[in-house]
Chains A and B, each alone.
Chain A
Amino acid sequence: MNRLRVLGEVEQLVLLAVLRLHEEAYPVRIRNEIRARAGVELARGTIYVTLDRLERRGYLHSRFGDPTPERGGKAKRYFRLTARARTALRRSQRALVNLWVETELSPGRP
């Protein structure tokens, strides 16, 4: 079994977006969600390779959805989190929160 890895920032953004979008997470919407909620503009290429990497590492499952005419008849590729991803996300969040808490940059502090 591999050592427990720390998630990178971009990986977290993508995983969280996938989490939020439930069953509707495909690259176009993932990117939009990240922009809308986090105010971060990620390049499309970054999204794709991150999704690819996360899937290969076992954090995401993918499936193909229905083609639509707007897409020239091409299917969408939907992603969802695996249990491993959830564990990793929680761990990351805990790690960050524990470091953030009671620092001068914490939200709420002047």
Chain B
Amino acid sequence: MSQRRSCVRLLLRVVRFVAPRRWGESVEGDLEEEWASGDVGRERTGRPRVGEVLAIVARFAWLRLADALDGRRGINRSSRRTKFGGSAGGTMLRHLRYGIRALVRQPAVSAVATLSLTLSIGAGTVGFSLVDGLILRPVRGTTDPEQLVALFSGNAQRPYGSVSFPDYRDYRASSDALADLAVFLSTDVEQDDQAGPERVHVEVVTANYFAVVGAPAVVGRAFVETEDRVGEAGVTVISHRFWKQRFGSDPTVIGRRIRMRGRPFVVIGVAPERFRGVTLASRPDLWVTTAHVGLLVPDFGAGVLERRHWSVWRGVGRLRPGQSADRATAQLRVLAAELERRDPGRFPRVVTLLPLQDAAFPPGSRDVVRTYATGLVMVVGVVLLAACVNVANLLLARGWARRRELAIRRALGADRRELFGQLLVESSIIAAAGGVAGVVLAVWLMPTVSQIQLPALVAVDVSLDKRLLTFALGLSSAVGLAFGVSPALRLSRADFLPAISPAPVAEGRHPVLTARRLFLMAQVALSVVLLVGAGLLVRTLLALQAVNPGFDPQALVAARLDPERSGYSTESATSLLTELQSHLTAQPAVAAVSLSSYLPLEPDDTSRINAFVNDGAMNVVGFNLVARDYFATMRIPILQGRTFTADELARGSVIVISDAMARELWPGQSPIGQFITTRQGGQRWEVIGVAADVKSKSLRGSDEPYMYIPFPRVPKMFNSSIHLVVRTTGDVAGSGLIRQALQTLNAKVPVLEETTLPARVAASTARERQSAAALAGFALLALGLALGGVFGLASYGVERRTPELGVRMALGASPVRILALVVGQHVMLVAIGLAVGLPAAAAAAQLLAGQLYGVSALDPWTMGGVSIAIAVSGISATVIPAHRATRIDPVAALRRE
């Protein structure tokens, strides 16, 4: 009760503030009277409620705004007749016409202000869309997304894992907080087509999937319950993008067939355009039902639907209206405990439901992505701030230049509110123009932004929609108001006499000028921070590019093949691959050929085996299956010993190890002739050679122990895919040679993936390259804005001091002195900005420290380089105005005032 009272009290104060002066305190009094009478319970109007008081506030605010734009009807107002009569609308139109004329009369200033806003609103919008796609609403195209939850099943240490199919069935049947539950898993499949096999990304889902997520098909239909049953004919729903790319958005796509693994799948529907699956990591091209999981995911087989402890499915569910994820989780946990009791797994089951928007990230990547997004927001915010500061500066300067005109208008009786309205409209025009142009710029940049390779293999959906538009236009309106109001207020004030008098304003005691100077120094400081950051990232990039990957990537091409997936047995696959190798070696354009199960610079490389040394110590090492000539093909130097002989490749029990492994397992001695086993008491392998270290995961990684096992002595380990690596002589395209060889040998084996090693090396620095480019772009933008500010300030300063400078020149000051005067004054500002910016940059660089390589966050060369760049550009920006100062004709200048 008293809370309401104090709320109303606060509101009454607001009412007093908002009500026009002619009302005085009577409105407040009225409300208090009504409030008080409610106490006594007299039969009156009843206490005013909070909402009603707010309504009064709103109406008074509107009244005052209309007043301000309209001008009070009274003796002061000249009764100008316009086409539209004396209405508020007519006044607005008048302000607009006048405002546009005024802006056009000063094109440079207007253009720079608009451009500043365009660039930063464009950048801001793009940044926001990235954040939106990453953090706010990563999953799109669904109905009522707040009701969607992701299902995780795991153990106490790792709760966010996958669920097994039988467990899913039980959860679905029993939870009443959930309206429905669906599961899915994703896989890549070759799709047979006239154009040759091509891999597609397929999601295997339960038939209720599309109903649960609320993404009804836009063409055709989604699955029905019966299509879940094993043995049913193959049907598929295709994604909108797939429909566009493969079928050219042909509306008759329903009924067409897509062959996968030899089976035809009939297209029955197309998913909505904005729906791209429920996780950020997976962008399915097609969806099929669980009936076909055995066919499409042979690693699992159809048994995956029956095995209680094969937890490979991701779950998505819809809450009943009014239910919460926590409540549903609690229910499921009860059931999980029961399941655990009946059929215990290795660890006690822990099941969790999270809101889908939070759970859309691949496990473990959420923090990385969040950091990235936060960094982006900060940078964009900083740049936007710099642009707004610029615009404010410019508007102030413009207003100052027009002070005489404004003062005269006031003296002739113009209403202050009228002038205020006028100036506000002008800055709003700039803000609106900047906003619209900014949105156009953002739309233009969107496709480029979509290509950005984000950390953690997350693909973001970046597209313009109503929210983005609202954000951008809201932003530009806020800017227009924020930076129009203050100058407008200031300039429409009553103290106009000094403005008309000819005496120049005393130097330094000018509040507007001081504000501008402060703004400028802040801008310079901001630019310094961004430039240092960009410089550090660039140096990181260069350092990484200089890292020796351990092999020679030039003229190397690799193709990944998996004959067993296409139906070959292990033996026939091995002999096919060996034949391929021999065939290609014989080609004149081929310098060397080999096979290996892994390529270097594989960020997802998690292949590890245990290696036991004589004394039983276990080491975890990386491994690679390599055929003959591997080291020669990759040009990896052999540091000790030798490589495999032909016999050893087929039958030997020998390995070649990396230098790091030698150092770690046999420090201080030669590893040649030593033995390891890969299982306690298992097969022994003799070390016959040591190869130089190769970067197996990334250029940044430190060298890890690694062993090379001969192929085909061991034809496969963990999976059956293998890379064919070809070094060509000269410019011949290796991939063409590989395909030709496949054809010649009549191998019905698709090339699953092909890459050139130089591209692979370049790709391993892709993220650093993009971050550096992005930050550099922003930094240059900020610098450009700051320099624009310096230029503007210097011009303005010269203009204002023209009489003084005229006097100096008349008294004999040389042009050089004048130049030095002008330049010195403004370079001083830049210098202060630099002095403030460098420590700030040092602090900010700590945020980047984790990303850097080969350069410290406090790198003096970067800081020095940036300082010099700022100094030079700052001086250049003052040169033109300073030069103008030297051309002043003293006589004309003196006469002017």
Contacts and interface: CB of A to CB of B under 8 A. Distances in A.
Nearest to A62: B22
Interface in A20-34: 26-28, 31-32
A90 interface: no
- Interface of chain B, main secondary structure: helix
Interface string A55-75: 011000010100110111011
Contacts of A108: none
Nearest to B34: A28
A84 interface: no
B32 interface: yes
A46 interface: yes
A5 B588 CA distance: 100
Nearest to B45: A32
A88 B45 CA distance: 30
A45 B55 contact: yes
B60 interface: yes
Contacts of A32: 44-45
Contacts of B56: 44-45, 48
A31 B48 CA distance: 13
B36 A77 contact: no
A75 B26 contact: yes
Contacts of A70: 32-33, 36-37
B25 A26 contact: no
B30 A56 contact: no
Contacts, number: 77
A44 B73 CA distance: 24
B12 to A, nearest CB: 9
Contacts of A77: 23-24, 26
A26 B26 contact: yes
A74 B25 contact: yes
Give the residue among B22, B24, B33, B58 with the most A Cβ atoms within 10 A.
B33
A27 B56 CA distance: 13
A88 to B, nearest CB: 17
B639 interface: no
Contact of A71 (B33, B48, B52, B60): B33
Interface in B81-118: none
Given A49-B63, A52-B20, A71-B33, A64 B48 contact: no
Contacts of A67: 29
Contact of B59 (A26, A27, A28, A48): A48
A51 to B, nearest CB: 9
B28 interface: yes
B27 interface: yes
A76 B20 contact: no
A43 interface: yes
A27 B30 contact: yes
B33 A28 contact: yes
Nearest to A69: B36
Contacts of A76: 26, 29-30
Nearest to A75: B26
B255 to A, nearest CB: 61
Contacts of B72: 56
Contact of B28 (A57, A62, A74): A74
Give the residue among A31, A46, A49, A57 with the most B Cβ atoms within 10 A.
A49
Nearest to A71: B29
Contacts of A35: 45
B33 A48 contact: no
Contacts of B37: 70
B633 to A, nearest CB: 83
Contacts of B26: 26-27, 64, 74-77
Nearest to B31: A44
Interface in B297-315: none
B790 to A, nearest CB: 49
A77 B19 CA distance: 13
B33 to A, nearest CB: 5
Give the residue among B26, B27, B37 with the most A Cβ atoms within 10 A.
B26
A43 B52 contact: yes
A52 B63 contact: yes
B463 to A, nearest CB: 42
Nearest to A72: B32
Contacts of A45: 52, 55-56, 58-60
A66 B73 CA distance: 28
A27 B30 CA distance: 7
Given A32-B45, A43-B52, A44-B48, A75 B59 contact: no
B28 A72 contact: yes
Interface string B53-80: 0011011100100000000110000000
Given A43-B52, A44-B52, A77-B24, A71 B58 contact: no
A62 B27 CA distance: 14
Nearest to B12: A72
A14 to B, nearest CB: 14
A13 to B, nearest CB: 16
B493 to A, nearest CB: 25
B474 to A, nearest CB: 26
Contacts of B19: 48
Contacts of A28: 30, 33-34, 45
Contacts of B59: 45-46, 48-49
Contacts of B25: 74-75
Nearest to B58: A45
Nearest to B73: A56
Contacts of B20: 52
A70 B72 CA distance: 33
Nearest to B27: A48
Contacts of B55: 43-45
A27 B60 CA distance: 15
B47 to A, nearest CB: 12
Contacts of A49: 59-60, 63
A75 B60 CA distance: 19
A11 B834 CA distance: 63
Contacts of B73: 56-57
A29 to B, nearest CB: 10
A31 B29 contact: no
A28 B22 CA distance: 17
12 contacts: A27-B30, A28-B33, A31-B45, A35-B45, A43-B52, A43-B55, A44-B31, A44-B55, A45-B55, A45-B58, A52-B22, A71-B32
Given A28-B33, A31-B45, A71-B29, 10 more contacts: A43-B52, A46-B59, A48-B56, A52-B20, A56-B72, A71-B32, A74-B24, A74-B26, A74-B28, A77-B23
Query: 10 closest A-B pairs (Cβ-Cβ)?
Result: A74-B29, A45-B59, A71-B29, A77-B26, A74-B25, A45-B56, A72-B32, A71-B33, A45-B55, A70-B36
